[in-house]
Amino acid sequence: MKNSFDIIKKNTKAICILASSVLFIQSPPLMAKTTNFNIGFVTIQDLSITQSNALTFGQTITGIAGKTCTISKVFSGAVNTAVATTAAHTDGVSGDGCLTTNNALNNNLSGVYAISGEVNQAITLTLAPTTNANFTFTPNGQIFGAATAPSSGTIVFSNTPTSSTLDASGDSIVIVMGNIVIGGTDLTPNTPYSQTFDITATY
């Protein structure tokens, strides 16, 4: 008569043989297929900055060493590309370094620049200060949609990145003003002086 151990041992062996048979039956590999498909894109258009009205302090600077002259803007209505270079606005001129009479010399002194790019896209605008041996210029301004009034825009301070959004036509207008500080030496009378400055726009 067989004991319990022999019965368990026999059953265990049978189970192991069955498991091996099952594994052998499932071993053939599955079929696979790989197909190539295209992916593509078009890069966005670059930003462009164009000048509608050059920034100038006109013939208002006295040229006295250490003196300051500031341009600020007074709008008489909505300003866009069509009217920004007309008499729709005047520029307030103030400071101890320039003439402050409100005459034809004070019209359209501030710079007007158009930024164009992708419709309704956010941009960052920076106005860079500049200096030379004769004077230092520190710009400020305002950016707004090309079809909207300046009051809806954003103030831009010198050397301070400012966020804005191009309008539904992909355009914005930047009005640039600022102040000039004459250096430590008096400038020569009736002599033109100039300096470049940077407007930087990035997505």
pLDDT of residue 72: 85
pTM, two decimals, is 0.75
pLDDT of residue 125: 97
Selection from 21-25, 68-72, 110-114, 127-131 with the highest mean pLDDT? 127-131
Delimit the domains of the chain by residue range: 48-202
pLDDT per position as a tens digit, 38-92: 999 999 999 999 998 899 998 889 999 999 999 987 654 444 444 444 444 567 8
pLDDT of residue 86: 42
Residues ≥6 apart with Cβ < 8 Å to 118? 44, 45, 166, 170, 203
pLDDT of 13 strictly over 90: no
Q: How confident is the model at residue 27 (pLDDT cuts 50, 70, 90)?
A: low
pLDDT of 102 strictly over 60: no
Q: How confident is the model at residue 12 (pLDDT cuts 50, 70, 90)?
A: very low
> Alpha-carbon distance 107 to 141, whole Å?
16
